[in-house]
Amino acid sequence: MKNYLSAILKEINLFLFDLDGVLVHNNILTDEQIYEFINEIKNFSKELSRLGLSFGIVTARNEDQLIIALSKIENIIVISSTLEKVKAVDELLSKLSLNYKNVFYAGDEVLDLPLLSKVGLPATTYRAKREVKRSVKYVFKGSNISSILSELLVLIKNLSNSK
């Protein structure tokens, strides 16, 4: 399984995440929680950027304080207020000259299934709906933003070190 995952991960240039249910588990965050969340995202994005990789959020969440804060972070793609995630990512991939085999996406709801079925490496959390877990190639062991992002960075860095 490790070699299988490594082979797929080698093709990935763009790491996309659903926001609610994957990285955020509260619809209403305090200012302090938003600050901590933004710092986690900034650090993760910097690491990916250093490795020549891109990071983004694709969410149905309407523009709010968190989305605005995320949009201000350098090197992060934010697509919000959309239920048509495939269409939004189609447009993004066209701009970036990438295709779906180059995309990692982590989602957790039935709404995410169409996008999960198209990407090169679909992922979810262990707290996701059963039908979502059945449709992905990777299930994160962690459940909060810190554990999920650090788990992914370990996978990516292990791949980079083995080249």
**Residue bearing the bigger pLDDT, 5 or 14:** 14
> Helices 145-161 and 31-50 sit at what angle, rounded to 10 degrees?
10
Summarize pLDDT for 47-60 with one digit per residue, the tens: 999 999 999 999 99
- Total domain count, the chain: 1
CATH number at residue 32: 3.40.50.1000
pLDDT of residue 1: 52
Query: Could you give the C-alpha distances from 71 to 38, 42, 99, 118, in angstroms and in order?
Result: 10, 11, 23, 25
Summarize pLDDT for 10-53 with one digit per residue, the tens: 999 999 999 999 999 877 788 899 999 999 999 999 999 999 99
Q: The domain containing residue 138 runs over which residues?
A: 2-161
In 11-129, alpha helices (H): 31-50, 65-71, 85-96, 113-116
pLDDT of residue 157: 86
pLDDT of residue 86: 97
**Angstrom distance (rounded) from CA 110 to CA 68:** 26
pTM here is: 0.94
